[in-house]
Structure 1
Amino acid sequence: MNARDIMLHGGSEHRGMNDAACTAAGPVRSHRFYTQFPDLDPYDRDGDLLRTLGGTDGEAGAPMMETPDDPVGDTETPAGYGIFGQYVDHDITFDPTSDIDRRNDPAALRNFRTPALDLDSLYRTNAEAAPFLYDHDADERKLLTGEAVAAEGDGDGGAFGPPGTDLQRNEQGTAVIGDPRNDENVVVSQLQLAFANFHNRIVDHLRGPGSSLVEEDESVLEAAQRLVRWHYQWVVRHDLLPRIYDRYVLADIEERGRQFFLPAGRPPAIPVEFGGAAHRFGHSMILHAFDVNDEVGEVSLFPTDSGEEDRHLRGGGPVSSDLVVDWSRLLDTGDGDYQPSRKIEPLLAPALFELPVSGDRSLAVRNLRRGKALGLGSGQDVAARVGYDPIRNEAFGDESAIMRTLRAHGRGADPDSPLWYYVLAEADYQQDGERLGAVGSRIVAETLIEADETAYPNAAPDDWEPSLPQPTPTDGYTLADITAFAAEARPDGLVIDAVDAGSATVRGTRSTSR
């Protein structure tokens, strides 16, 4: 793998996670991760069994691979939320590990030790610690963005789209951002870009009609960062969680607080049951192809092995103008017309069994092997520990992936399954794949519901609600409002009238900037 390659989500270790793995002498504590149930027996089945269950190198008929003649089906959840879940995961597991960060920015110690929804994947820690993220020529309160390049056959290459259509990149095309994982595919890189544009749009808003939102002794930059974080945290709690998690579990957590994961009094850290298993449920929501805009329609997530130069969404380089994401295609803007995500089931899209990486190419195999390496207990044992009746494997059905695999290895009576698999199968069994079941919801929601002292539930005035304009007619403030407001951003007061595809030039008028 060369320096240009970007590791896929789930394809690399979160730094510090293995330090929290169970050992014969108990867990090794990490300041970033911890094991919630170190006394549970690990799910320690033979590696060949896990490879059979997860499939290897895209082999046809892998138990956890969706087949064309038996598709998983769609949910009511828009496809953009699977990508958003990935973005949230990158936020709370961010680790600024370079020596220069540790020497020059003591605040980084706090940020990388906590699972706070503080968007350090967007901001790192502050403008002084990460000056390369900000536009010091035009407006140092704004984040730098870049321009999409010409699609094949349009112009002579190079910058093509208006500013704010791609991330800022160096001369080799590598994104210069707070977390390089957010350039692993075009859709997640465009979501990173949307949050950068959201920040920049808020800066403009605070210098105009929203000036009253700047608090006393607060700069415009500080106010913009606070509002970005608070609106993002609101969307996680009031938009993402209700769409994907068991509502009875959410109501219980809201009423009684955390019962198992990050309970009161424990220093915040990431449970490996979350990072190594439960939050990887989002892999089952990822589509083989995404409907990115009206011009190109659905585009494959990864290149194929056919050798053809097909259009795809593999990241790690400049985004072409024909792949700039129209978020109204992937989110509900109020009209109900959007591409839906896949159901949450123990079946993954075929593209995820042929990852363009070295080593195991099946994401399912990678997840299952990671769970074993971390010494995670079985899904059934974790279910019992958090107070739910475990679902035995046979209840998932004789033709379920786990039962087919166990029979193939002469273990048909084995009642247990890996925690990651159990979370997916439970969602199918209890919720028909529309959202997570009880155990998955408990682990993930208790980890995500914000405990950080600077988060809006703890730092905002009582009964605070989103204070920015709501551009879409949705029921409540949603992720679609963030992306729609972000799309209104104008670089340095330049109002874009049109992009001339023939000459690759931008026509517009300059307004007076404030």
Structure 2
Amino acid sequence: MSHAKGPARPAFAPRSKLYKGRFGRICPGLTPWTPPGVPPEQIEAHFVAFANEHMTERPGLSPGEAIEIDDELETEFSSAIPAGYTYFGQFVDHDITFDPTPLGVEITDPEGLDNFRTPRLDLDCVYGSGPHDQPYMYDGAGKFLIGKIEGSDLDDLPRNPLGRAIIGDMRNDENAIVSQIQLAFLTAHNTLVDRAVAAGKADPFMEARRVLTWLYQHCVWEDFVRRICIDEVVDTALVKMKGKDGRVQWGLGLKDVYNWEYNPFMPLEFSVAAYRFGHSMVRNGYQTNFTHNQLDRVPLFNNTTAGSGASEPDLRGFGPRTEVTTVQWDWYFDMGNEADFFPQRARKIDTKLANALLFLGEDDGNPASVANKLAARNLIRGVMMELPSGPDVAAKLNVPVTVTLGDDEPAALWYYILREAEGQGGARLGRLGSTIVSAVFAGLLKGDPKAFVNVDPGWTPEAELASGMLTEDDKQDNSDWGLQAILRISGQPVSGV
């Protein structure tokens, strides 16, 4: 049932699994879910009230107060997933999808949805349209321009006089952690250009881009997806097969879940629901580095001094990096530091969102504003995009229904996926969430003609050692070539600043 106002319009995300455009649906034949008994004009207020009462981690507390509870109850809230993967997941999201449509416009026109990103793991959020079309991002020799923190030798994203980053995707400057992941990719590329020049490569820029992109694809699948999804689902979704003749090929095992005719589309069940699990992994604040911050947590968003004229540091973005907000990466990923408190951990995947996420948008601190309630916005968006319920999707995909929803709980797909993970202790996604996320990432890789699984199916990062594009020092103790390798290549701070 559509709640659009005005005349009906043709769907931009048609109910066809073979749709050739950039958005589509995994379950096109299912009935859209809406909250029972709630008139369309009351949906916003309904979900805001539900989010306020049921989806806030510590009702009534500021993020600063919630940080103190985080410190006291670290184990209760923490998963085993290092905190950096929360923001790497955000970086990956920005690489594959971008819908700039304001929420109010979606309510008016639920089918007016477009994806301004290629649905591929191709790092277009880093490279933009390349040095020929966006020369202001490059130095003329195939390297990215890099900024500096004023009065320091620390790197920063290149910025204009207003402090805004000059990068391939503006969203990768929206908080200090994801902006420094972006910075790490820029400086990793520059290092790889130097190595390509030393190795005598004919086109150092393209060689560096290829190696960084393939290493990134490897990290997404073997490091990130395997951490957040059930192992046997990941093993089914994308299978590396070696024939009797010795040739290696990659095959898709969940084509019944995610399939296309010519090119991959971005499924709404993924982008509007399943992949938004990361919102529940966000903490109220993070330790940043030893040298300038010691062990204090820096708030993600500091609303505690609003209106006082104070300027306590926080991790919100769209401004220059500072010494206090500089990320020491062994606080966020397993970089070989053997201390018990390294790295800090992401929150469990559950139905509670950190208090810091109540203070988003221009109306900071106003609990009645939809823009300040990420949980409410996600629930509203699912209805406006006419997504089916979680139980209906589980039945359609033949995934066991493991969640019994209470009478006051929404059957919205996003909420159901969080409840499913919560029922398993919040360590990773449950069966339905794992199935959707694994199937889509596998399909995006296999559907990209330039991905390593298609161009060079036998490729592994080890294959780059002989050419000198990658080194054993990049891998160090991380035998599976995870994201840590890119961070080491980048030369950004690992163990101190």
User: What does residue 352 of structure 2 align with?
Assistant: 347
After TM superposition, give the deviation of residue 419 of structure 1 in Å: 0.5
The within-5 A match list for 1:46-125 is 46=38, 47=43, 48-55=45-52, 62-67=53-58, 73-94=77-98, 114-125=118-129
Rate the CA distance shift 1:27–1:229 in 2: closer, same or farther, 3 A: closer
Letter in 1 for 2:231: R
* CA–CA separation in structure 2 for the residues paired with 1:119 and 1:96: 19
User: What does residue 413 of structure 1 align with?
Assistant: none
- Which secondary structure state, in structure 1, belongs to the residue aligned with residue 449 of structure 2? coil
Letter in 2 for 1:424: L
Deviates more, 1:261-270 or 1:166-175: 261-270
User: What does residue 377 of structure 1 align with?
Assistant: 388
User: What does residue 135 of structure 1 align with?
Assistant: 139
* CA–CA separation in structure 2 for the residues paired with 1:364 and 1:95: 18
Q: List alignment gaps of at least 5 residues for structure 2.
A: 1-9, 59-65, 102-114, 240-251, 364-368, 465-469
Letter in 1 for 2:144: L
User: What does residue 145 of structure 1 align with?
Assistant: 146
* CA–CA separation in structure 1 for the residues paired with 2:89 and 2:344: 16
Letter in 2 for 1:327: W
For the 8 Å contact 2:147–2:157, the answer to whether it is kept is yes
User: What does residue 433 of structure 1 align with?
Assistant: 426
Rate the CA distance shift 1:475–1:318 in 2: closer, same or farther, 3 A: same
Q: Does 1:239 align with 2:226?
A: no
User: What does residue 160 of structure 1 align with?
Assistant: 151
User: What does residue 319 of structure 2 align with?
Assistant: 317
2:437 to 444, 450, 453: 444
Rate the CA distance shift 1:206–1:30 in 2: closer, same or farther, 3 A: closer
* CA–CA separation in structure 2 for the residues paired with 1:476 and 1:355: 37
Rate the CA distance shift 1:132–1:96 in 2: closer, same or farther, 3 A: farther
For the 8 Å contact 1:383–1:439, the answer to whether it is kept is yes
Deviation per CA, 1:251-301: give whole Å up to 9, x if none.
Answer: 111245232444253421100001101100001111111121112142100
* CA–CA separation in structure 2 for the residues paired with 1:200 and 1:96: 30
Deviation per CA, 1:201-227: give whole Å up to 9, x if none.
Answer: 11122233xx17x4xxx4000000001
User: What does residue 61 of structure 2 align with?
Assistant: none
User: What does residue 175 of structure 2 align with?
Assistant: 185
Letter in 1 for 2:303: T
After TM superposition, give the deviation of residue 135 of structure 1 in Å: 1.1
* CA–CA separation in structure 1 for the residues paired with 2:362 and 2:100: 24
Relative to the length of structure 1, the TM-score reads 0.75
Letter in 1 for 2:426: G
User: What does residue 412 of structure 2 align with?
Assistant: 418
- Which secondary structure state, in structure 2, belongs to the residue aligned with residue 190 of structure 1? helix
Deviation per CA, 1:348-386: give whole Å up to 9, x if none.
Answer: 111112214345201101111111110000111111111
1:36 to 20, 26, 33: 26
* CA–CA separation in structure 2 for the residues paired with 1:161 and 1:201: 21
User: What does residue 104 of structure 1 align with?
Assistant: none
Letter in 2 for 1:293: N
Letter in 1 for 2:408: T
Letter in 1 for 2:30: L
* CA–CA separation in structure 1 for the residues paired with 2:99 and 2:419: 31
User: What does residue 505 of structure 1 align with?
Assistant: none
Letter in 2 for 1:271: P
* CA–CA separation in structure 2 for the residues paired with 1:50 and 1:279: 20
Deviation per CA, 1:42-66: give whole Å up to 9, x if none.
Answer: 11113143222222xxxxxx20111
For the 8 Å contact 1:381–1:390, the answer to whether it is kept is no
User: What does residue 503 of structure 1 align with?
Assistant: none
User: What does residue 221 of structure 1 align with?
Assistant: 205
Q: Does 1:303 align with 2:306?
A: no
Rate the CA distance shift 1:113–1:184 in 2: closer, same or farther, 3 A: closer
After TM superposition, give the deviation of residue 175 of structure 1 in Å: 0.6
* CA–CA separation in structure 2 for the residues paired with 1:30 and 1:348: 35
Rate the CA distance shift 1:22–1:96 in 2: closer, same or farther, 3 A: closer
* CA–CA separation in structure 2 for the residues paired with 1:314 and 1:205: 34
Letter in 2 for 1:269: F
* CA–CA separation in structure 2 for the residues paired with 1:388 and 1:356: 37
Deviation per CA, 1:135-173: give whole Å up to 9, x if none.
Answer: 13xxx211011012xxxxxxxxxx22226x210001111
Deviates more, 1:299-308 or 1:450-459: 299-308
Rate the CA distance shift 1:447–1:436 in 2: closer, same or farther, 3 A: same
After TM superposition, give the deviation of residue 126 of structure 1 in Å: 2.1
* CA–CA separation in structure 1 for the residues paired with 2:98 and 2:47: 28
Letter in 2 for 1:78: P
For the 8 Å contact 1:20–1:29, the answer to whether it is kept is no
CA RMSD of superposed structures (Å): 2.8
* CA–CA separation in structure 2 for the residues paired with 1:95 and 1:122: 18
After TM superposition, give the deviation of residue 459 of structure 1 in Å: 1.1
* CA–CA separation in structure 1 for the residues paired with 2:449 and 2:348: 35
User: What does residue 331 of structure 1 align with?
Assistant: 333
For the 8 Å contact 2:33–2:412, the answer to whether it is kept is yes
Letter in 2 for 1:44: T
User: What does residue 104 of structure 2 align with?
Assistant: none
Rate the CA distance shift 1:425–1:461 in 2: closer, same or farther, 3 A: closer
* CA–CA separation in structure 1 for the residues paired with 2:277 and 2:262: 26
Letter in 2 for 1:427: A
Rate the CA distance shift 1:261–1:176 in 2: closer, same or farther, 3 A: farther
For the 8 Å contact 2:18–2:260, the answer to whether it is kept is no
* CA–CA separation in structure 2 for the residues paired with 1:201 and 1:162: 17
* CA–CA separation in structure 2 for the residues paired with 1:461 and 1:240: 20
Rate the CA distance shift 1:405–1:264 in 2: closer, same or farther, 3 A: closer
Deviates more, 1:454-463 or 1:183-192: 454-463
- Which secondary structure state, in structure 2, belongs to the residue aligned with residue 141 of structure 1? coil
For the 8 Å contact 1:383–1:389, the answer to whether it is kept is yes
* CA–CA separation in structure 1 for the residues paired with 2:22 and 2:334: 35
- Which secondary structure state, in structure 1, belongs to the residue aligned with residue 205 of structure 2? helix
* CA–CA separation in structure 2 for the residues paired with 1:113 and 1:478: 24
After TM superposition, give the deviation of residue 113 of structure 1 in Å: 6.5
Rate the CA distance shift 1:187–1:228 in 2: closer, same or farther, 3 A: same
The within-5 A match list for 1:217-296 is 218-255=202-239, 256-263=252-259, 265-294=261-290, 295-296=292-293
* CA–CA separation in structure 2 for the residues paired with 1:369 and 1:363: 10
User: What does residue 200 of structure 1 align with?
Assistant: 190
Which structure dedicates a bigger proportion of its chain to strand?
1
* CA–CA separation in structure 2 for the residues paired with 1:283 and 1:482: 24
Rate the CA distance shift 1:19–1:227 in 2: closer, same or farther, 3 A: farther
Letter in 2 for 1:484: R
After TM superposition, give the deviation of residue 306 of structure 1 in Å: 3.0
User: What does residue 112 of structure 2 align with?
Assistant: none
User: What does residue 467 of structure 2 align with?
Assistant: none
Deviates more, 1:43-52 or 1:79-88: 43-52
- Which secondary structure state, in structure 1, belongs to the residue aligned with residue 79 of structure 2? strand
- Which secondary structure state, in structure 2, belongs to the residue aligned with residue 143 of structure 1? coil
For the 8 Å contact 1:22–1:375, the answer to whether it is kept is no
